[in-house]
């Protein structure tokens, strides 16, 4: 990892404020132009990777001599590289545990993400699914029990079409959140093992009877402003009234989903913050400037990329922390 440098050049601009009978002298003002140079290496969670790539690309546009390399080695790899000095920042999709905090790691909230259940939009029982939704208890049985084996058993219909379950094979923040919502651990989730969100989504698109879960932003077709073709968000019957109420149906409404995550009306137990981690408080001015930019201009990019932005009070507090002297 190359040492990062901050190059500051001073440009003196002289201008005459006024020419009057007193013949005042021209006053001189200094404008500080900051040029960021060097390399920043970031590694870590797959969940935050696409947004971090966007942030890096946008921030680098105004800093031609700055290179930001973003790798998606996973939360564990990111933290290990950070501790070994092989990267400047790590991305993680969970909070630090006590043993990690004891190693001098400093954790910054970066954005907020929801974990959602997904089904194929050609599911032959779609009308019943969208009318009734599915309760947490039913999902617990489907993913970890033996009571429900078919869509008919779940929906109270006379058929035996099996529910085809896909679950994550790799250690995953999304799988951890989903399992915790069901009162379980990731290793308790049954189903066909698939690695990474993109592959989960592709598997669901190819199987009409499938059911799975993923990080919310992966189902968004951002250029079209819709949910990806072939995917529907399964409505969860949170109030257990046997009906998929209006606030439990997201269908194709990206704005409604992001707003629900931001406000916390989408269950908090199915939402999590994604984090950026540094070794001790950042000292390098270039890293500090990048982080401050994430908490200002970068939040609009997060929202446009399908994530939920942080609250203003949170971003202001983080910027104050970064501005504080060591």
Q: List, for residues 128-160, the tens digit of each pLDDT value.
A: 999 999 999 999 999 998 777 889 888 888 888
Q: Which CATH number fits domain 5-113+274-323: 2.30.31.10, 3.40.640.10, 3.30.450.20, 3.40.190.10?
A: 3.40.190.10
DSSP state, residue 188: G
Which of 4-18, 60-74, 275-289 ranks highest by mean pLDDT?
275-289
Domains 5-113+274-323 and 114-271 share a fold: yes
Q: Can you read off the two tokens belonging to residue 4?
A: 């990062």
Residue 21 buriedness (CB in 10 A; 0-12 / 13-18 / 19+): exposed
Please, which pLDDT band fits residue 29 given cuts at 50, 70 and 90? very low
**Whole-prediction pTM:** 0.74
Q: Which two tokens stand for residue 49?
A: 């990777």
What is the average pLDDT across 99-111?
A: 89
Q: Are 190 and 144 in contact (CB under 8 A)?
A: yes
Can you read off the two tokens belonging to residue 155? 């929906």
Confidence of residue 123 (pLDDT cuts 50, 70, 90): very high
Domain boundaries, the chain: 5-113+274-323, 114-271
What is the tens place of the pLDDT at every residue in 221-252?
877 777 889 999 999 988 888 888 777 776 55
- CATH number for the region 114-271 comes to 3.40.190.10
Please name every residue paired with 34 in a beta bridge, in sequence order, or none if there are none: 8
Q: What mean pLDDT is predicted for residues 287-294?
A: 96
Q: What pLDDT is recorded for position 44?
A: 93
Task: Give the per-residue pLDDT at 4.
Answer: 42
Summarize the confidence of residues 288-308 as an average pLDDT. 92
Between helix 285-294 and helix 297-304 the angle, nearest 10°, is 50
Per-residue pLDDT, 204: 97
The Cα 309–Cα 254 span in angstroms is 14
């Amino acid at each position: 990892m190359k040492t990062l440098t901050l190059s500051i050049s001073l440009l003196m601009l002289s201008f005459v404020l006024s020419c009057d009978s007193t013949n005042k002298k021209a006053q001189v003002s200094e404008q500080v132009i900051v040029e960021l140079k060097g390399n920043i290496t970031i590694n870590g969670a797959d969940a935050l990777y696409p947004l971090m790539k966007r942030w890096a690309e946008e921030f680098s546009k105004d800093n031609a001599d700055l290179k930001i390399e973003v790798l998606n080695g996973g939360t564990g790899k990111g933290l290990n590289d950070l501790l070994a000095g092989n990267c400047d920042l790590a991305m993680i999709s969970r909070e630090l545990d006590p043993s990690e905090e004891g190693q001098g790691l400093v954790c910054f909230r970066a954005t907020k993400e929801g974990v959602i259940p997904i089904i194929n939009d050609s599911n032959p029982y779609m009308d019943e699914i969208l009318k009734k939704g599915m309760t947490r208890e039913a999902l617990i049985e489907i993913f970890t029990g033996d009571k429900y084996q078919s869509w008919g058993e779940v929906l109270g219909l006379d058929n035996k079409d099996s529910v085809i379950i896909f679950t994550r094979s790799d250690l995953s923040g999304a799988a951890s959140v989903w399992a915790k919502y069901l009162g379980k651990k990731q290793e308790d989730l049954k189903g066909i093992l698939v690695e990474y969100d993109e592959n989960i989504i592709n598997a669901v698109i190819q199987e009409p009877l499938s059911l799975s879960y993923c990080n919310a932003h992966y189902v968004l077709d951002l250029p079209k402003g819709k949910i990806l073709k072939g995917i529907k968000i399964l409505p969860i019957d949170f109030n257990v009234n046997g009906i998929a109420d209006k606030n439990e149906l997201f269908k194709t409404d990206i704005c409604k989903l992001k707003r629900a995550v931001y406000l916390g009306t989408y269950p908090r137990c199915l939402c999590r913050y994604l984090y950026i981690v540094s070794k001790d408080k950042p000292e390098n001015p270039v890293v500090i400037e990048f982080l401050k930019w994430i908490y200002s201009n970068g939040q609009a990019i997060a929202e446009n990329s399908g994530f939920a932005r942080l609250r203003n009070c949170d971003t202001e507090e983080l910027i104050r922390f970064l501005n504080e002297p060591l």
